[in-house]
């Protein structure tokens, strides 16, 4: 597999028609630094591999970019957009809220029920106060 990728990178750099494969390998190298990264990407269905283990994938990806000169990075806009999305505090808060408080459908249902109960209680209280004011007891 390493030979295939190295030959594709060499072919791409010889003919200069773009840096798509080189860019892809550099993108994967920026995502994968350890076996935990490979495991996470595989578990989420982002990558699949036919190599023996996650360690082999991590070692392969980390070796491929050595001694390779990058011309133009094809995924710069994508990386900039991902980083911009990541830096947005609202997205972080939403992700934390979803992960910590609304991780199951029952939690969402409990939240909706609590809000509904709060609204009904508030409405009942307002009508009781208005009734007291109007009838003047």
Q: What is the DSSP string of 50-119?
A: -SS-HHHHHHHHHHHTTT------TTHHHHHHHHHHHH-HHHHHHHHHHHHT-SSHHHHHHHHHHHHHHH
Distance, CA of 87 to CA of 95 (rounded, Å): 12
Q: Considering the chain, what is the average pLDDT of its residues?
A: 90
* Percentage, residues of the chain above pLDDT 90: 54
Domain ranges of the chain: 2-75, 95-135
pLDDT given at position 83? 94
Dump pLDDT digits (tens) for 6-17. Answer: 898 888 888 877
């Amino acid at each position: 597999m390493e030979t295939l990728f190295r030959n594709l990178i060499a072919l791409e750099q010889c003919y200069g028609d773009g840096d798509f494969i080189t860019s892809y390998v550099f993108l994967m190298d920026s995502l994968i630094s350890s076996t935990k990264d490979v495991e996470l990407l595989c578990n989420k269905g982002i990558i699949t591999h036919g190599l023996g283990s996650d360690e082999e994938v991590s070692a392969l990806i980390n070796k491929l970019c050595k001694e390779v000169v990058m011309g133009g990075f094809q995924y710069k806009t994508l990386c900039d957009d991902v980083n911009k999305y990541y830096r947005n505090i609202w997205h972080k808060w939403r992700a934390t809220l979803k992960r910590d408080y609304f991780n199951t459908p029952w939690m969402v249902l409990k939240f909706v029920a609590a809000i509904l109960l709060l609204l009904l209680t508030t409405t009942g209280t307002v009508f009781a106060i208005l009734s007291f004011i109007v009838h003047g007891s």
